[in-house]
Chain A
């Protein structure tokens, strides 16, 4: 069971999409799990053959629990006594010291390690009850969460009902836990920059005239692409804070914040956003938003975001001070686009303006670096034809 977010403790297997003996390719879906963020499709990370489905549909499985046993297709069949592997990662072909016949498959991205201080007994109890330690206030020695705190939380939380679908209350708790942890642990600093979108929107209007309705671009695509290209120039803000240090993201996978109609928020990844054309990016964005709202997000989309971007869209506030989603190290917020007086070459003229805000982790970067990122975004938005 992969961790599909810093706040996830477990999920319920709701469907197997494969059976033993099936041959799978990297990225194929093997099953669906129900999390507090809705149903998520679980992908495999390597070409492989399904050896055994370990868990029955309806079972709640903790993060890192074994769902199924897979064998890499270029490997010999595993002996019957093969040790259990975590999650759905195929067993490595060989220990690193052995012959370098093929690369060992990359495992699930490391989990965030910044731990809540909790007694061993409290930690175990919270896990058994499905209570996130992040949201609890410790009353124990050294301020640690102790059994009594877990018991209080268990008594306060409504009885856990079997999760048969999206549960807004559960998602609200999950968001609360993640954001509480972020505000508690991450020393945020914020930078804002007003960016003129005159050139960008004018170019967009011309561009859309030549496109069929289904392929028209939204301003969001420009903001996303400009952000992705800027991150390629300022990689220090793209990645994770793990085990006390910054680990750069492998690729620019922008978590795009999607508000759900039942309430709640989810930020699945647009993979390699810097390398997609605007057309491809727009198509992916449409698809992602739709799947986020109807279910069917994929595990990699939940696990991979290296940064989050939130855009308030039309008829909303003009600026947002967003909160970093741990273990990411930065978040970018775009307010609504508004006509504002703008000074250009000594003359004041109305321009469409968006306020871009960067929230970043001071353990990883400083305002100087953050300012470079906002300046890069601004620069790219002034040259929309190059996006």
Chain B
């Protein structure tokens, strides 16, 4: 692979640009996406490049513009709706959960809702409790939605195209700490699936299941463990709903131990769901140690940098948890 090194932000920008240029039905709308260039500068320059019809600034009303996006999708458009952060998406919960997720079902398939809703998620930028939570697990609870969590440059570049091709609503969660992530983009890859998890690092001793902003931390933990002689297998879920448990179970059947890393809170978390599916399925009999999780502390994410970092999953805690399963004291 000898691709160009770009940022995650640039990868998302290219994905939006390509989608709009390819398909006249596609447009982007959201708060500050046009003149300001996006609060995380993802759409910087796109207004000038693609025009006001395709890059549309909206009023500060998540319910209104998410609802408008759902309506546009039902009417045949392919809107990309950007919500500034998942915290603000709660104002649009009714539109997402009661409309987008249900209309294809309630109309007996007469109305498709091919809307894509992108939003930032996660902590680490000292944006305090109202801008830092990881609520993607809530959306992963809702039938009718497909939930994506691109954690790599490649997924950031190509998941959007696959999401727009899906006739049902798709939510894409972009972790705020990933926008500055740099990586090589393989020019040979022009599309990715939005169905399967991926093994990002092979290992035989313990499976570390992660996604989104926690993937990098989990890979770092795996390197620490390797120095101890523990080979961790790292799985990037990529798709939070529907979950690709086959990949997770196949890995656990090899390693017989599993740590789930999830920036959401532990109680009622996506990590809880994955752990339960392992416990209730055939993978149970492969386990050689209890299931374990590394989640965020059960507090509103603190503002102070050291407390914020202490509240989040970190490579050291992930490594220590995994070590406790492989080499119990």
Contacts and interface: CB of A to CB of B under 8 A. Distances in A.
24 contacts: A119-B256, A119-B287, A119-B288, A119-B289, A120-B284, A120-B285, A120-B287, A121-B256, A121-B286, A121-B288, A122-B288, A124-B285, A140-B288, A140-B289, A140-B328, A141-B289, A141-B290, A141-B324, A141-B325, A142-B328, A146-B288, A146-B289, A147-B256, A147-B288
Contacts of A147: 256, 288
A293 B5 CA distance: 81
A139 interface: yes
A140 B257 CA distance: 11
Contacts of A146: 288-289
A144 to B, nearest CB: 8
- State the main secondary structure of chain A at its contact with B: helix
Interface string A320-340: 000000000000000000000
A146 B257 CA distance: 11
Interface in A212-226: none
A122 B324 CA distance: 18
B328 A141 contact: yes
A146 B284 CA distance: 14
Contact of B328 (A120, A121, A122, A139): A139
Contacts of A124: 285
Contacts of A139: 328
Best-buried of A122, A141, A142 by chain B (most CB within 10 Å): A141
A134 B93 CA distance: 54
A118 to B, nearest CB: 9
A124 B290 CA distance: 15
Interface string A121-133: 1101000000000
Nearest to B285: A120
A164 to B, nearest CB: 32
Interface string B266-310: 000000000000000000111111100000000000000000000
A119 B279 CA distance: 12
A343 to B, nearest CB: 59
- State the main secondary structure of chain B at its contact with A: loop
Nearest to A123: B285
A140 B285 CA distance: 16
Nearest to B289: A141
A333 B324 CA distance: 46
B1 to A, nearest CB: 38
Nearest to B287: A120
A141 B285 CA distance: 16
Nearest to A138: B328
Nearest to A118: B288
A261 B256 CA distance: 45
Nearest to A146: B288
B4 to A, nearest CB: 45
A124 B256 CA distance: 13
A207 to B, nearest CB: 61
Interface in B231-288: 256, 284-288
Given A141-B290, A141-B324, A146-B289, 6 more contacts: A119-B287, A120-B284, A121-B288, A141-B328, A146-B288, A147-B256
Contacts of A142: 290, 328
A142 B288 CA distance: 12
A142 B328 CA distance: 8
Contacts of B328: 139-142
Best-buried of A119, A124, A142, A147 by chain B (most CB within 10 Å): A119
Given A141-B324, A141-B328, A121 B290 contact: no
A119 B289 CA distance: 6
Interface in A304-353: none
Contacts of B324: 141
A139 B328 CA distance: 7
Nearest to A144: B289
A380 B278 CA distance: 60
B181 to A, nearest CB: 34
A59 B61 CA distance: 73
Interface string B312-329: 000000000000110010
A119 B288 CA distance: 5
Best-buried of B256, B287, B288 by chain A (most CB within 10 Å): B288
A132 B286 CA distance: 19
Contacts of B325: 141
A146 to B, nearest CB: 5
A144 B287 CA distance: 12
Nearest to A142: B290
A141 to B, nearest CB: 5
A278 B267 CA distance: 67
A139 B326 CA distance: 10
B68 to A, nearest CB: 51
Interface string A268-294: 000000000000000000000000000
Nearest to A119: B288
A151 to B, nearest CB: 11
Interface in B10-24: none
A119 B256 CA distance: 10
A146 B326 CA distance: 10
Contacts of B287: 119-121
**In the A-B complex, the 3 residue pairs with the closest CB atoms:** A119-B288, A121-B288, A141-B289
B230 to A, nearest CB: 14
B210 to A, nearest CB: 21
Contacts of B285: 120-121, 124
A121 B287 CA distance: 5
B221 to A, nearest CB: 18
